[in-house]
Amino acid sequence: MITGAARGIGVGIARCFLDAGASVAITDLDEELIPVTAAELGENAMGLVADAASQVSMVKATAQVIDRFSRLDVLVNNAGVGGPKITPAENSASDSAALGMSDEMWDQQLMFNLRTAFSSSRAVIPSLPDGGSIINIASIAALGPSTAMPGYGAAKAGVVHLTKTLAIELAPRRIRVNCICPGVLWTRAWEFLTLQMQATQPELANMTQRQIFESVVEGMTPLGGEQTPEDIGDLSVFYASDKARMITGQVVAVDGGISVQ
Ligand SMILES: NC(=O)c1ccc[n+]([C@@H]2O[C@H](COP(=O)([O-])OP(=O)(O)OC[C@H]3O[C@@H](n4cnc5c(N)ncnc54)[C@H](O)[C@@H]3O)[C@@H](O)[C@H]2O)c1
């Protein structure tokens, strides 16, 4: 089961698990898109509307998955949403960027990006078989200061911590818990981020969002270029496989070398 997978990285992760011969359940808050994406993924995929930040919702989704596929071996905690800067942005052309982050926005960032991993794991763990696997999608924002999205970075650092804690707690059942920190991928998350950049940096006004993204990626990635959702999916499949049977509590950045600079 992959949370937040109606679009973006989650779809790439789903494709990689399907290619590896698994059946896949994708969940999302987006009621319109989730059945469309599930249909595109084919007959071994099911789409469910569920809130990854709600145990009640995820317990219900888990029951639906087990009803259809008889078991649930792997949970990928992928749902997440970026947020604003802490302090008001200078030269801001948009009201939200001019305000900076409120208490409510901070709490939302923790809910969207950390509680999602906690609540979904808490809901699914009782149904995972011994030897199952949990994979948390954090971010390179978890690995160092994140001035562009500080609430998001703090929440994702919490996801890294949760990964290590659950790895120890679930080790007696041989359930392995690992984490992936993606770098930069052209998904809706970056469409929002480039919009935010355009609102606060007038010199970007004449560039398309994709051009802004490419110029950011070019300057920051030692291996050159952006990552793809399948780059994240390939490591997810490895983590879930028996080849990783002795790997738990680990955090790997799939970022073209950004985080080692
Ligand atoms: N795109 C990047 O460059 C990048 C980099 C690092 C980490 N990430 C992380 O990868 C994950 C996927 O990001 P993406 O770029 O595909 O984002 P996206 O916005 O393209 O897709 C995220 C999906 O999650 C869904 N979602 C959000 N909150 C949810 C909730 N509570 N319950 C269920 N569904 C929910 C949204 O409806 C959306 O369909 C996120 O955790 C994100 O923080 C992305």
pLDDT tens-digit series, residues 215-250: 999 889 999 999 999 999 999 999 999 999 999 999
pLDDT at 31: 98
- State the distance from the centre of ligand 1 to the C-alpha of 28, rounded, in angstroms: 10
pLDDT at 220: 92
Round to whole Å and give the CA distance between 105 and 169: 31
pLDDT tens-digit series, residues 106-157: 999 999 999 999 999 999 999 999 999 999 999 999 999 988 889 999 999 9
Which residue puts its alpha carbon closest to atom 24 of ligand 1?
Answer: 4
What is the best residue among 11, 28, 36 to mutate for testing ligand 1's pocket, by most ligand atoms within 8 Å of CB? 28
Which residue puts its alpha carbon closest to atom 26 of ligand 1?
Answer: 4
Identify which of 44, 40, 46 has the alpha carbon closest to the alpha carbon of residue 21. 44
Domains and CATH numbers, the chain: 9-184+228-260 (3.40.50.720)
Round to whole Å and give the CA distance between 46 and 53: 20
20, pLDDT greater than 80: yes
Mean pLDDT score of the chain, rounded to an integer? 94
95, pLDDT greater than 80: no
Ligand 1 touching residue 112 (CB < 6 A): yes
What angle do the packed helices 150-170 and 103-110 form, to 10 degrees?
Answer: 30
100 pLDDT tier (thresholds 50, 70, 90) = confident
pLDDT at 128: 98
Beta carbons within 8 Å of 241's beta carbon, 6+ residues apart: 20
| pTM of the complete model | 0.96
pLDDT at 55: 98
92 pLDDT tier (thresholds 50, 70, 90) = low
- State the distance from the centre of ligand 1 to the C-alpha of 33, rounded, in angstroms: 14
- State the distance from the centre of ligand 1 to the C-alpha of 11, rounded, in angstroms: 10
User: Are the C-beta atoms of residues 92 and 16 closer than 8 Å to each other?
Assistant: no
pLDDT tens-digit series, residues 162-204: 999 999 999 999 999 999 999 999 999 899 889 888 988 999 9
97, pLDDT greater than 60: no
- State the distance from the centre of ligand 1 to the C-alpha of 80, rounded, in angstroms: 4
Ligand 1 touching residue 187 (CB < 6 A): yes
Tokens of 248: 């738990």
Round to whole Å and give the CA distance between 47 and 34: 6
CA 36 to chain centre: 20
98, pLDDT greater than 70: no
Which active-site residues does the annotation give?
152
86 pLDDT tier (thresholds 50, 70, 90) = confident
Round to whole Å and give the CA distance between 185 and 13: 13
96, pLDDT greater than 70: no
